[in-house]
Amino acid sequence: MPQTSMSIEVKIPAVGESIASGVISVWHKADGETVWAGDVLLTLETDKVSTELTAEKGGVLRILVPQGEEVKIGTVVARIEDAGEAYHATKPPQREQSAATPGPAPVAPAPVSSPALSAAVESMAREAEMESTPPARLVPFVETGESRITRKKMSPLRRKIAAQLVMAQQTAAILTTFNECDMSAVMELRARMQESFTKEHGVKLGFMSFFIKATVRALKAVPAINSRVDGEDLVLNHFYDIGVAVGTERGLIVPVIRDADRKSFAELERDILFFAAKARDGKIKIEDLQGGVFSISNGGVYGSLLSTPILNPPQSGILGLHKIQERPIALNGQVVIRPMMNLALSYDHRVVDGKDAVTFLIEVKKCIEEPMRMLLEA
């Protein structure tokens, strides 16, 4: 059915309370390109989440604000003009479902190895190279014509992260206490149960669900850590919404797993996978990040052996996990090799005493080193 010539405005919608602006990080369609209803037009990046804007109707896209610009909520950034009768007589392109299924990864060609050199030849080659290369302080500076620095604006999310970290340091008395745990029992239990667990629940049993369970038990043992300062009041939380830090290309975000104390290991693993996928696709919502009472950050996935995590305000505690590393320990009067992990608890010393912090870490350590207790209670 022919339509009269008209255009509709593409406006930046309200994407959450307290968010006044965002940056057009990507235009997925070009100026003058024909679009169809439901097509993703742009990605808006705010200080909390990324949001995709889709076309309400089909037509020809006319971009008014270029990519990379910061825009306020309500700003008209494009128009979709009617494309005429020929357009309306054309069927929209089919979205093949099979396209969502990735094909086999291309096989990289095997590297061509050079002939093996004898030790003597290699030594001579190294000496010749050293003789022909002047010391670093004598190498003359050569102007390449390329800029030695790159300056760009921080993204809204990065600015928000920076402000939050500085605010946390300035408003809380942050102290960090350390301990370590032997991962042998968890690793053995996980390996033994992995096949049956995956077959029954459709997800793998990871380490994070064990630490979430251990954290809940430790928070119940030390209620002071499950609290927050609100002005001159101390607010005690009687629920266990645990934030799990997830690294993305845009920065670190902390989606919250609700009512972790009521969930099984399988439910926790599903939640972790769900939020990891949303974070990877840039589809985390504001409500996914709000309301946590405690956070867990796993720097071990990047190889970190020890760190002092910074609080996620207004929370009073954050548990830092680190790389599992085999090292010698004393056990029953003998030196043995065990897979050990360093634990770090940063906490607000205004409301959490050192004794409470130590008790918390010991409870986490006990749960990880005797995991069957948590499984029986799940």
- Cα–Cα dist 44/335, whole Å: 56
Q: What is the dihedral of CA 281, 285, 288, 290, to 10 degrees?
A: 140
Q: In terms of CATH, what superfamily is 156-377?
A: Chloramphenicol acetyltransferase-like domain (3.30.559.10)
Contact present, 324 and 153 (Cβ < 8 Å): no
- Cα–Cα dist 284/40, whole Å: 17
54 phi, psi to nearest 5 deg = -110, 160
Which segments of the chain belong to CATH 3.30.559.10? 156-377
Q: Which amino acid is at 162?
A: A
Residue labelled with tokens 């499950």: 226
309 phi, psi to nearest 5 deg = -65, 150
Task: State the CB neighbour count (10 A cutoff) for residue 58.
Answer: 19
Question: pLDDT digit of tens for each residue in the chain (378 aa)?
Answer: 334 457 899 999 887 766 788 888 889 999 999 999 999 999 888 876 778 899 998 999 999 999 888 899 999 999 999 877 656 656 676 654 444 444 444 444 444 333 343 344 344 444 444 444 444 465 555 556 678 888 887 777 777 778 888 988 888 999 999 999 999 999 999 999 999 999 999 999 999 999 999 999 999 999 999 999 999 999 999 999 999 998 877 777 899 999 999 999 999 999 999 998 888 887 888 889 889 999 999 999 999 999 999 999 999 999 999 999 999 999 999 999 999 999 999 999 999 999 999 999 999 999 999 998 887 765
Contact present, 316 and 175 (Cβ < 8 Å): no
3-state helix, strand, coil in the chain (%, to 5): 35, 25, 40
Alpha-carbon distances of 348 from 172, 228, 313, rounded to whole Å: 6, 9, 10
**Residue 50: enclosing H or E segment and its boundaries?**
strand 50-54
Contact present, 322 and 307 (Cβ < 8 Å): yes
Which segments of the chain belong to CATH 2.40.50.100? 7-90
Q: Tell me the helices (H) and strands (E) count for the chain, helix number first.
A: 9, 19
Q: Which residues are the active-site residues?
A: 349, 353
Edge-to-edge strands of the sheet including 59-63? 7-11, 76-81, 59-63, 34-35
Angle in degrees, CA 152, 158, 163, rounded to 5: 120
SS3 (DSSP) at 240: coil
Q: Is the pTM of this model over 0.85?
A: no
Kindly indicate whether the domain formed by 7-90 is annotated with CATH number 2.40.70.10: no
**Residue 141: enclosing H or E segment and its boundaries?**
none
Q: Which residues contact 302 (CB under 8 A, 6 or more apart)?
A: 247
